[in-house]
Chain A
Amino acid sequence: MTGRELAGSLYAASIVDTVREPLLLLSNDLRVVTANAAFLKTFGAPAAQVEGRYLHDIGGGEWHVPELRRLLEEMLPADAELRDFEIEVGPGTPGQRTFLLNAKRLEQRDSEVHLILLAFEDVTERRRLEHALRAAMAELERSNQELEGFASIASHDLQEPLRKILAFGERLASVSEGHLPDKGRDYLGRMTAAAARMQTLINDVLSLSRVSTRREAWRPVDLNTVVAGVVSDLENTLLKTGGCVDIGSLPTVAADPTQMRQLFQNLISNGLKFCSGRTPQVRITATACGLGPADRAGAAAQTAWQIVVADNGIGFEPRYAERIFRPFERLHAREAYEGTGIGLALCRRIVQNHGGTITADAVPGSGARFVIHLPTPLKERA
């Protein structure tokens, strides 16, 4: 070799020996010409036991992978490259590892000898974690199914005695027409009303549990369409109260369509329900926010949508801003406003499912605002 070639060769050799990934140089006939330090360290073998040997003979024959051999042999005349080939080395042994492999034939000028460079990436740990994750998700799925089944059955069985209380309460009222003193009728009325409330509570608990167990695959959901649908459903309420819903331009997001519907159904109907003397008005607006660092093109990356549902109703004391999201939390007597207090708990769970947050602020007597942050792209919560 010339002086320059020697220098170049030393340069290359230094690189090969310093990189952290295992590298092998094979000759035409698949003998190891050089194994770098990383390779020797990974396989705990001294150079003498590796260099000069056929690849498939190294160690206890762990590298005897027929498909790899075939591919390497095919590469020789074809001057081809091999990329991302996954091999299991030493399958079934304690030292079993999984590697991703790149291989390339190296041209050597003025030489008949062609070398093949093999570069390895140890993905054993990664594959193990992927496997564990898949197993955990399968377990979660199974557990959800079980929970869903239990919730359905529990609610069905819990509803049955309530139906009887309601049905026979009604029969009692009708057969004792005129014979029951006022107090008696009053008590009977309270009993059946309580049973009816319990029915609603059971349904609400079921709804809340279903937000977690019954989830559809995400698809692009145009929130304008969702809100329009909700407003259409609430038409009667709107007519009765003379209220209106003012919708700004809303984005299309990747989400569970049914849950988005539930979310806005609850927020908008709350806005109309908790109204003060004024004609109820609900405004929904959306802004892009959370601008991340600008990319190469100079465009700032949007990382979230902020959607606000604001009303002009009774509002609430700021110190209750977190409490109101608790299941069955009510700030008012049952007689004042109907509802079990599950709506906001449902909204929070739905927003959390979509990787976002929901908070509330209000001025007592003036109105309330519910602020939803949804990250884009939405990160699905397992």
Chain B
Amino acid sequence: MNTTGRPIVILIADDDTEDRQLTSDALDESRLRNELYMVNDGEELMQYLRHQGRYEDPAAAPRPGLILLDLAMPKKDGREALAEIKNDPDLRQIPVIVMTTSSAEEDICRSYDLGASSYVTKPVSFAALVEVMKGIGRYWFEIVELPS
């Protein structure tokens, strides 16, 4: 349960503009009260989390309570970023949900192996995406305790 009452920050890492838009719309539609931040690739993701580059100001890059991570991204892909996050003592408590188009066995195993909390294959239909977001909201923000 989110006891502080402040909306939990969700950080979406996805290189695809439209997918980011669809995810954001789906989150709206599922009526999750969250602040949404987006990054384009693995490099930006790490810069955001470490407050480097254009994310130096912590106010511009609040620490996320949850990361939705795409695997296939340019410059630094999701797998690399995931490994870095889970090896960083400062960042590894943040739950990472891998949200990607691939349903390949190797990707699933590898993601959990690297420390992902969950693996979700992006549904094709928008309605299904909304349901997924509702599910994520119910599980991660109502049932589960997140580290503060």
Contacts and interface: CB of A to CB of B under 8 A. Distances in A.
A333 B126 CA distance: 30
Contacts of B126: 167, 170-171, 174
Interface residues on A, range: 10 to 19
Nearest to A163: B124
A174 B72 CA distance: 29
Interface string B123-141: 0111101000000000000
Contacts of A171: 25, 126
Interface residues of B, number: 13
Interface in B109-129: 122, 124-127, 129
B128 to A, nearest CB: 9
Interface centre among B25, B102, B124 (most CB of A within 10 A): B124
Contact of B127 (A160, A170, A199): A170
B102 A166 contact: no
Contacts of A199: 124
Contacts of B122: 163
Contacts of B124: 163, 166-167, 199
A170 B25 CA distance: 13
Given A170-B126, A170-B127, A171-B126, A164 B18 contact: yes
B92 to A, nearest CB: 29
Contacts of B127: 170
B35 to A, nearest CB: 24
Given A160-B101, A167-B18, A170-B125, 19 more contacts: A156-B72, A156-B101, A156-B102, A159-B101, A160-B16, A163-B101, A163-B122, A163-B124, A164-B18, A167-B22, A167-B124, A167-B125, A167-B126, A167-B129, A168-B18, A171-B25, A171-B126, A174-B126, A199-B124
Interface of B: 16, 18, 22, 25, 72, 101-102, 122, 124-127, 129
